[in-house]
Structure 1
Amino acid sequence: MDFLSLFFMDFVKQLQSPTLGFLIGGMVIAALGSQLQIPESIVKIIVFMLLTKIGLTGGIAIRNSNLTEMILPAAFSVAVGILIVFIARYTLAKLPKVKTVDAIATGGLFGAVSGSTMAASLTLLEEQKMSYEAWAAALYPFMDIPALVAAIVVANIYLNRKKRRTADEYLSKQESFSKQPVAAGDYPDRQDYPGNRQEYRKQKDSADNRVKIWPIVQESLQGPALSAMLLGIALGILTRPESVYESFYDPLFRGLLSVLMLVMGMEAWSRIGELRKVAQWYVVYSLVAPFVHGLIAFGLGLIAHYATGFSLGGVVILAVIAASSSDISGPPTLRAGIPSANPSAYIGASTAIGTPVAIGLCIPFFLGLAQAIGGG
Structure 2
Amino acid sequence: MYEIIIQNLLSPVVLFFVLGLIAALVKSDLKVPSALNESLSIFLLIAIGLKGGIELSKYTLSEVISPVIATIFLGSLLPIVALILLKTIKLDKKNAVALAATYGSVSIVTYGAAISFLDHTGTTYEGFMNAMVVLMESPAIIISLLLLKVMDQKKTEAVRYSSRNLAFTSPLTSFIDKDVLKEALFGKSILLLLGALIIGLIAGENALPAIQPLFIDLYSSVLILFLLSMGLTAGQRLPEVRKHGLQLLLFGIIMPVVGGVIGVLVGNMIGLSLGGMTLMGVLAGSASYIAAPAALRTSVPEANPSVYLGLALGITFPFNLIIGIPLYYQFAQWL
What TM-score comes out, normalization by structure 2 length?
0.91
Residue 318 (structure 2) pairs with residue 324 (structure 1) = no
2:102 maps to which of 109, 114, 128: 109
Pair 26,163 (structure 1): closer, same or farther in 2 beyond 3 Å: farther
Q: Tell me whether 282-291 or 36-45 shows the greater mean CA deviation.
A: 36-45
| Partner residue in 2 for 1:211 | 175
Question: Out of 67, 72, 78, which is 1:73 matched to?
Answer: 67
Q: Report the aligned-residue RMSD.
A: 1.9
Does the alignment pair 1:340 with 2:334? Answer: no
Q: What is the aligned partner in structure 2 of residue 364 from structure 1?
A: 326
Structure 1, residues 267-311: CA drift from partner, whole Å, max 9, x if none? 111111111333432101001111100101111111111xxxx22
SS at structure 1 position matched to 2:217 = helix
Between the aligned partners of 2:246 and 2:102, the Cα distance in structure 1 is: 18
The residue number in structure 2 matching 1:124 is 117
Quote the Cα distance in structure 2 between the aligned partners of 1:40 and 1:303: 42
Report what 2:9 is aligned to.
15
Q: For residue 127 of structure 1, what is the amino acid of its counterpart?
A: H
Written as runs of structure 1 = structure 2, the 5 A alignment for 1:238-249 is 238-239=202-203, 240-249=206-215
Displacement of 1:332 after TM fit? Answer: 1.2
**SS of 2:122 mapped into structure 1:** coil
Query: Which is greater in Rg?
Result: 1
Contact 1:117 1:324 in 2 (8 A): yes
- Pairing 1:29-108 to 2, within 5 Å after superposition: 29-96=23-90, 98-108=91-101
The residue matched to 2:218 in structure 1 has which SS?
helix
Aligned counterparts of 2:270 and 2:177: Cα–Cα separation in 1: 29
Q: Distance in 1 between matches of 2:113 and 2:44?
A: 11
Work out whether residues 105 and 151 of structure 1, in 8 Å CA contact, stay in contact via their aligned partners in 2.
Answer: yes
Q: CA deviation at 1:100?
A: 2.0
Asked if the contact 2:102/2:312 (under 8 Å) is kept, the reply is yes
Say if 1:145 and 1:220, in contact at 8 Å, map to a contact too.
yes
Q: Which amino acid aligns with 1:359?
A: L
Partner of 2:162: none
Secondary structure of the residue that 1:91 maps to in structure 2? helix
Deviates more, 1:212-221 or 1:143-152: 212-221
**1:285 is the counterpart of 2:251:** yes
For residues 41 and 328 of structure 1, the distance between their equivalents in structure 2, rounded to whole angstroms, comes to: 16
Query: What residue number does 1:26 align with?
Result: 20
How far 1:157 sits from its partner (Å)?
A: 2.7
Q: CA deviation at 1:67?
A: 2.2
Q: What SS class does the counterpart of residue 134 from structure 1 fall into?
A: coil
User: Residue 15 of structure 1: CA displacement?
Assistant: 0.7
Match of 1:186 in 2: none
Q: Deviations over 1:304-332 (max 9, x none)?
A: 11xxxx22211110101111101221211
What residue is the counterpart of 2:217 in the other structure?
251
Contact preservation (8 Å) 2:252, 2:312: yes
Deviation at 1:215, TM superposition (A): 4.7
Select the residue among 175, 191, 195 that pairs with 1:231.
195
Determine if contact 1:153/1:213 at 8 Å carries over to the other structure.
no
Task: Tell me the distance in 1 between the aligned counterparts of 2:207 and 2:37.
Answer: 24
Q: 1:288 to 1:242 in 2, by over 3 A?
A: same
Question: Partner residue of 1:178?
Answer: none
The alpha carbon displacement at 1:229 in A equals 1.0
Q: Percent identity?
A: 26
Asked if the contact 2:200–2:207 (Cα under 8 Å) also holds between the matched residues in 1, the reply is yes
| Larger CA deviation: 272-281 vs 68-77 | 272-281
Q: Deviations over 1:109-155 (max 9, x none)?
A: 01111000000001111111111111111101222210111112212
Structure 2: any 5+ residue segments left out of the alignment?
Answer: 159-168
**Structure-1 residue corresponding to 2:152:** 159
TM-score normalised to the size of structure 1?
A: 0.81
Task: State the distance in 1 between where 2:104 and 2:244 align.
Answer: 20
Show structure 1 runs of 5+ residues with no match. Answer: 1-6, 166-204
Q: Distance in 2 between matches of 1:244 and 1:329?
A: 28
Matched-pair contact (CA < 8 Å) for 1:85–1:151: yes
Cα distance in 2 for partners of 1:159, 1:267 equals 33
Does structure 1 retain, via aligned residues, the 8 Å contact 2:141–2:295? Answer: yes
Q: Supply the distance in 2 between the matched residues of 1:53 and 1:209 (Cα, whole angstroms).
A: 37
Q: Following the alignment from structure 1 to structure 2, what is the Cα–Cα distance between the partners of residues 300 and 228?
A: 27
Contact 2:16 2:227 survives alignment (8 Å): yes
